[in-house]
Chain A
Amino acid sequence: MANHYTIDSEISAAFSEIQYLIQIIYSTGNPYARNLALNQLCNQTTHLKFLVQFLQTERNTALQQQAKPNATHPFQQTQTHTIPVQAGVEKNQIVPTQASRLPQPKNSPQQLYQSPRLLDQPAEAPYHSTEVLYQSTHIPYQSSRGLYQTPQTQFSSASNQSRQPYQIQEPSQSAQINQSAQPPFQPSRLLYPDVQRQRQIQSPTPAGNPNGQTFTREQLTQFTGMNGMPAYVAVNGVVYDVTNNAAWSLATHFGLKAGNDLTGEFASCHAGQNWILAQLKPVGRLV
C-alpha cells in the first residue's frame, strides 16, 4: 500500500506548498512575485484536486474488489503502479487540467518519491524501502535533542520488527516509547548506535551532570558537535543544544563554533531576537 502513503505525503506536501505561497502573497509587495505565487497556487490546487480525485477512484476500485474477493488489489499487482500519479493517468483517465502542463515547484516530493532508487527497493530493504518510509508517519518520532521535532517519524514496520531496537532517547523517554503498541524500530541511519555507545562512555553528562544541569566553561568546550559529542552553546548563562539546529551545520554558524559561550556574539548579531533562543532546547546552566 505504498501508493497510499505516497499520495498522502503528496497531499500534505501540496498543502504546505499552498501555505507557503499564501505567506508569500501576504508578505511581498512585489507584484511580480505575487503573480508568480498566484500562478503556482493555481497549479497546486489543480494538483491537489487531481490527487483527491485519484484517491476517490482508488477507493471505488477497492470497493469493487471487495465484491470480487479473488481479485488482487489493483495497486499491488504490477510494477507499473509504483508511480501512482502516472499510473493513475493512464489507468483511470483522470487528466489533471493544468498540473501536467505547468511547471511544478522543484521541491515537489513527487520527484524524490519517483526516483527509481527509492521505489525499486526490494520489500526487505532495511529502512529506505517505500513501505517503511511512508508507513509510520503518524507516530511521532521523539528526538531527544532536535530542534526540528515536527514531522519526524518513528520507524516501525512488520518486516523490521525482528531487529533489536536501539535507543537514542534518554531513559525516561525510552520508557515512554516502549509503552506504544509496536516495539520501536530505529534504523541505524538515524541512530548510530556506535556513536551513542561511544558518547555514553565519553560524555561527561552522565557522570558530572546527571541531569545536564550545570556546565563549567571547561566542560562546555567538550561539546563540539563532533565525533559523537552533541553541540552545545551558551548564551546569557543558559546552555542550549544546537546539534540538530539547521543553522548549525557542522556545529558551526557563520564562523562560530559550538562548545563556546556566545553571549556577546548573539547580542551583536541578533539583538532583540530572543525568539531565536526560545526555539532552542536548553540543557543546563553555565556556571
Chain B
Amino acid sequence: MKKLDIVLPPESVTNEAIAQRLYQAVTSGLESGHVKRKKLVWLELNGCSGNIISLLNGFQPDFEYAITQMVDIVYSNSMMVEDGEKAINRLFELAEGDEDFILGIEGAVALKNEGMYHLVGNRNGQPVTGLQAAKMLGEKASSVIAIGACAVDGGPSAARPNLSQSVGLQTVLDNREIIKLPGCPVHPDWFLGTLAHLLLYGQPELDQQQRPKMFYSDLLHDRCPRRPYFDKGVFSETLGEPYCLFKLGCRGPVTRIDCPTRQWNGHVNWPIGASTCIGCAQSGFPDRMAPFISYNTTRE
C-alpha cells in the first residue's frame, strides 16, 4: 500500500494506469482483509434515473466489476430481483436492523403533501414516500452520497415552477454529512471513484460544498482546449465553430469539474467538443445556469 502513495515521474498517469494501480491496491487489500466489500443501497427518488444509466457507462472499473467486486448492491429498484412488498421489506430491514451500508441517493426529495408526490412503494397497504425512505435510511447509513444535481440541491426536479416542492437531500437530512456529487448526470468515474475511495481510504477530501476535491476542484474554463481563443477574444458565432463559446453561453467559467481532462462516454469526448457547457455540475443548475444558448449576445 505504501508504495502507492508516491507516484514519481515519469510514471504513467493515464486513466488506465491509475485504474490499474488502484485495482492492484484493491485486490491486495481484499486478499489481506484490509478492504471489505460493503453493502450499497441505491435509492432512486424524484428524478429521471439518469445517474444509474450513466453508471452503466462506467469504464475501468466498469459496472460489472463495481457490483461484483467492490460492493454488494442490496437495494436498487432498477436492478434488484425482488419486487413489490418484498423489495420494500428489504428497505425496512436495513432501516431497522444494524447492517452496515453505504447509501447512494439519486433524485430530489418531494416535500409536497408530506411527500405524497413521490412514492417508492407500498407496505401493508400504506404508501411509502420517498421522503420517508430518505430520512429512514439516511440516518442509518454509514455514509451518504447524494448522486446527481437533483439529490444535491433539487436540480431539474426543483426547477421552476417546482410543482412537487422538491429539495436536495441535505434539507431533509440536515444534521448529516453528505458527500455531494452534482452533475446531470453524474459521470460514472465521479461516483465509482468516490465509492472506491470510501472503501479503500475512507471519506475523500471534500470542499466547502461537500464535493470530493479530487473531481470538483479545477475550474473547467482553466483547462478548456478553447481557452487560447478566449484569451485572444476570438469567439464562435455558431456552435459548429472551433473558437471559444463564451458569447454563445458557455458556463465553463463558473463550473468547477474535471470534464475537460476526464471526458465522457469512455473518456472520448465532452460537451465543449461540440457545444457549450451548461454548467450541470454547478449548484443552481438548471435555473441559475439558464439561458443555455443565445445568438444575440453583445460582442466586441
| CB atoms of A244 and B300 under 8 A apart | yes
Q: Are B231 and A151 in contact (CB under 8 A)?
A: yes
Q: Given that A31-B5, A103-B14, A190-B233 are contacting pairs, would A246 and B253 also be in contact in the complex, using a CB cutoff of 8 Å? A: yes
- State the A residues within 8 Å of B (CB): 9, 13, 20, 28-33, 35-36, 38-43, 98, 101-103, 105-109, 111-112, 115, 117-118, 128, 133, 141, 143-146, 148, 150-153, 168, 189-192, 195-196, 199, 225-231, 243-244, 246-247, 249-255
Contact with A along B261-274 (1 / 0, CB 8 A): 10100000000000
The 0/1 profile, CB within 8 Å of A marked 1, for residues 203-225 of chain B is 00100000001100100011111
Q: Judge whether B224 and A254 touch: CB under 8 Å.
A: no
Q: Is the CB of A30 within 8 A of B300?
A: no
Asked if residues B253 and A251 are in contact (CB atoms below 8 Å), the reply is no
A281–chain B nearest beta-carbon distance, Å: 12
Can you name 14 A-B pairs with beta carbons within 8 Å?
A105-B223, A107-B227, A112-B225, A112-B229, A128-B234, A141-B233, A152-B233, A153-B232, A195-B298, A227-B296, A249-B247, A249-B254, A251-B298, A255-B290
Chain B interface main SS type: loop
Closest B residue to A251 using CB positions = B297
> Cβ of B1 < 8 Å from any Cβ of A?
no
Contacts beyond the supplied A148-B230, A249-B247: 12 A-B pairs with Cβ under 8 Å: A35-B7, A41-B9, A43-B9, A106-B225, A106-B260, A107-B227, A143-B233, A143-B300, A249-B250, A249-B254, A250-B291, A250-B294
In-complex Cβ contact of B228 among A13, A106, A230, A250 (8 A): A13
Assembly CA distance A111 to B222 (angstroms): 16
Q: How many A-B residue pairs have CB under 8 A?
A: 152
Distance between B211 CB and nearest chain A CB, rounded to angstroms: 14
Q: What residues make up the interface of B, taking CB atoms closer than 8 Å to A?
A: 5-14, 205, 213-214, 217, 221-235, 237, 242-243, 246-251, 253-254, 260-261, 263, 284, 287-291, 294, 296-300
Residues from chain B with Cβ under 8 Å of A128 in the complex: 234
Cross-chain contact A146 with B297 (CB below 8 angstroms)? no
- Tell me how far the C-beta of B158 lies from the nearest C-beta in chain A, rounded to whole angstroms: 13
Q: Are A226 and B296 in contact (CB under 8 A)?
A: yes
A133-B229 Cα distance, complex, nearest whole Å = 10
Alpha-carbon distance A33/B218, docked complex (angstroms): 11
Chain B residues with CB under 8 Å of A150's CB are: 231
